[in-house]
Amino acid sequence: MSTHAKRERLLLADLLEAAGPDAPTLCEGWLTRDLAAHVVVRERRPDAAAGAVVPMQALKSRLERVQAEFTGKPYDELIQLIRTGPPRMSPFTIKQVDEGANVVEFFVHAEDVRRAQPDWSPRELDPVFADTLWARLEKSARLLGRKAPVGLVLRRPNGQTVVAHRGTPVVTASGEPGELMMFLFGRQDVAKVDLEGEPEAVERLHATKQLGI
């Protein structure tokens, strides 16, 4: 596994373990047990995980059944499955696949656990990891921002920008790459970003719950 993906995986496992199975998360309707089960199903049951991205009722129903099955497993077992990583024949064992698919997934979900706690504080990311997240934003901003109700530009502190959604009026979201990532994944209420633009446009953007996949 790649350095970033492995680190974020282990951090997520540690946070889930420390929080316990019944702690809140930022994923609506999910406690930590549900989030842990989701991570395990995504890696170990691709036959069911497809239901999260393919709009077919049969696949969605299968995902719900398998998710419920894993949610019912002992919490310690779920945490251990996350820590040990995917099974040997999984494509996630390939470094490039792991890096491409898991860095953002684990980062966002780790923050879903951290930021659901009342005493959380922003996490300071090392510059290399921040650049990695920014590179992902540059590639995925159009997809993640496609449902924005206004034009949306992302700007990091060093002045780099990327267009997440074309349109008018335009709102510029400024912040560190990790905060912009959380914002685009629909965690607007906890993302530490500054929004600049017409007041009505800013309000519309901040209020929408349709950002993210």
Least confident of 17-26, 52-61, 121-130, 179-188: 52-61
Residue 51's pLDDT is what?
Answer: 46
Average pLDDT estimate for 108-120:
95
Least confident of 59-73, 113-127, 185-199: 59-73
Per-residue pLDDT band for 155 (boundaries 50, 70, 90) equals very high
* Look-up of token digits 């930590």: 32
User: What is the sign, positive or negative, of the torsion defined by CA atoms of 170, 171, 177, 181?
Assistant: negative
Asked whether 74 and 80 are in contact (CB, 8 A), the reply is no
Residue 10 structure tokens: 């282990």
Among the residues of the chain, which ranges form H helices? 3-19, 32-44, 46-49, 57-71, 75-84, 95-114, 127-144, 177-184, 199-207
Higher pLDDT, 2 or 167: 167
Mean pLDDT of the chain: 89
Average pLDDT estimate for 56-61:
63
Strands 194-196 and 151-155: unpaired
Q: What is the pTM of this model?
A: 0.90
Higher pLDDT, 118 or 55: 118
Q: What is the CA radius of gyration of the chain?
A: 17
pLDDT more than 70, % of the chain: 91
Residue 96's pLDDT is what?
Answer: 84
Higher pLDDT, 128 or 65: 128
Average pLDDT estimate for 155-159:
96
Domain ranges of the chain: 3-114, 137-207
Architecture of domain 137-207: 2-Layer Sandwich (3.30)
Q: Does residue 66 surpass a pLDDT of 90? A: no
